[in-house]
A and B are shown apart, each in its own frame.
Chain A
């Protein structure tokens, strides 16, 4: 078995045997479980807690699309914040603890070290997101007695691309910035920039900046062309991880 495969297996085992198995799945599955329930019972909850403040305002009857919108909003906000914080030390954490030295003085290249870590966590996020989407789908079907798959899965997959892009961003930032807090701060800055860029329509149409809005539109059942944002996001992901690997090769450990 090659050193890279052994290292990838270690990375996967590390997820299963440390806090990593609890935090990201915990956050996503919590929102996946609560989203449909909250969407279904929002009118009752609001009426129970603030009966006098609604005046004549009538809350529309919730539909399965509200549950989908809730899930996609959480994927575009809370899940991204979680990814930024969790992966701020993806590479720098190993450099600091000395485990990078343990691995990189053996026949594993620095490029492989960075690429394998990024790839394994990209896969992990995909698995967690699919599980969360399945949970939301099932609970939506229970709560609303109808749950068409297409709006949910198309929007979730677009959100997945956005999440994977942020894992690539954090891979680069965790190579560039030794401090996890510093990398997380820079990651939040990247999130803010991408959100602002998404407001400019031409940029949103042809770049990953449009992924968030596209996911929201798809969850609402609006047909949306996501080809350019998805293709450019994949290209940017590859470029970010390649730059991270190139920079890590030159770094003194």
Chain B
């Protein structure tokens, strides 16, 4: 499969600050790609480099097989872009803005009118007569999504597309993104993990300008899911959690409260992130037995994307 986006050792510095640090990234054509990262991880910088709005300090960016630095209009005519805070001409109405955006692509009048009508309907802006200056943040975001699709792009780049939307607007945008699967490559940056889990098939996690994980979403969850053990005992869970936390194979130890435990912390499952699953499976039952506790259950828990994310980038922020 060809790559819609390919970056090689992509680096961007602002003075002393390194926003992107030799980032290698491949986005397969046709995928719905989630680009995850905490605020300040380098997501927006990456999108600015992909769209040619900023120039890399070093490294290269290929979009749809062309070098962004030299391809100019050839790349721009095939992409759609929604920035994190979209800027519009406040004096235009939504249909005028859409016609303007389509006109910049040289789309013929008949096709353009049909697309404008369809996309405004999709954005829930049909019949809105006020100028964009009077729009709410959510309306602007939906208009931003609509204008990014006006050229039926081969590659759609969305920077935090759902961040300003209410739950219904968010649902609509996510459904729209999901509906593009197989027709358009969608590259979508966000820090909302639930959105990525819902619509993306592949994900990259960015931390301090570096890609720390890059895989199909199921593979990523499976890879990290095998490294979590959940233990539930009849009582004395706090002491057991403490004891487990002292083991060399134990990473983060978390207590999950359960209904009816009275909040005394003596029961409820213990979640342990482990570096050596086999050692954990051998030693935890021994620890439970040595304390004379009753073992209710012990299993490998499946990590959600949120936990994978925290595990990968949370490190010293916990």
Contact = CB atoms under 8 A, between A and B. Distances in A.
A10 B100 contact: yes
Nearest to A16: B91
A106 B76 contact: yes
A250 interface: yes
B48 to A, nearest CB: 7
Nearest to A106: B104
B89 A99 contact: yes
Interface string B84-101: 011111010000000011
Interface in B61-116: 72-73, 76-77, 79, 81, 83, 85-89, 91, 100-101, 103-106
Nearest to B77: A107
A214 B16 CA distance: 52
B154 to A, nearest CB: 14
A106 B81 CA distance: 9
A1 B83 contact: no
Mostly helix, strand, loop or mixed at chain A's interface? helix
Contacts of B106: 1-3, 107
Contacts of A3: 73, 103-106
Contacts of A253: 48, 53-54
A98 B101 contact: no
Interface of B: 48, 51-55, 72-73, 76-77, 79, 81, 83, 85-89, 91, 100-101, 103-106, 147, 151
A103 interface: yes
Contacts of A61: none
Contact of A109 (B73, B81, B151): B73
Range class of the A interface residue count: 20 to 34
A108 interface: yes
25 contacts: A1-B103, A2-B106, A3-B73, A3-B103, A3-B105, A7-B104, A14-B91, A98-B83, A98-B85, A99-B88, A101-B53, A102-B86, A102-B101, A105-B51, A105-B53, A105-B76, A106-B76, A106-B77, A106-B101, A107-B76, A107-B77, A107-B106, A109-B73, A252-B48, A252-B55
B196 to A, nearest CB: 23
Mostly helix, strand, loop or mixed at chain B's interface? loop
B53 A104 contact: yes
Query: 5 nearest interchain CB pairs?
Result: A98-B87, A6-B103, A107-B73, A106-B104, A252-B54
A103 B85 contact: no
Nearest to B97: A102
A145 interface: no
Given A102-B86, A253-B54, 12 more contacts: A1-B103, A2-B106, A3-B106, A6-B100, A7-B104, A9-B103, A18-B91, A101-B87, A102-B87, A108-B104, A109-B72, A253-B48
A2 B107 CA distance: 9
A105 to B, nearest CB: 4
B296 to A, nearest CB: 56
Nearest to B51: A105
A116 B100 CA distance: 15
Nearest to B78: A107
Interface centre among A9, A17, A107, by most B CB within 10 Å? A107
Contacts of A2: 106
A19 to B, nearest CB: 10
A98 B104 CA distance: 16
Contacts of B104: 3, 6-7, 103, 106-108
A97 interface: yes
Contacts of A18: 91
Interface centre among A6, A9, A105, A108, by most B CB within 10 Å? A105
A58 B72 CA distance: 69
A7 B73 CA distance: 15
A88 to B, nearest CB: 19
A106 B101 CA distance: 8
Nearest to A99: B87
A101 B83 contact: yes
Interface string A1-40: 1110011011000100110000000000000000000000
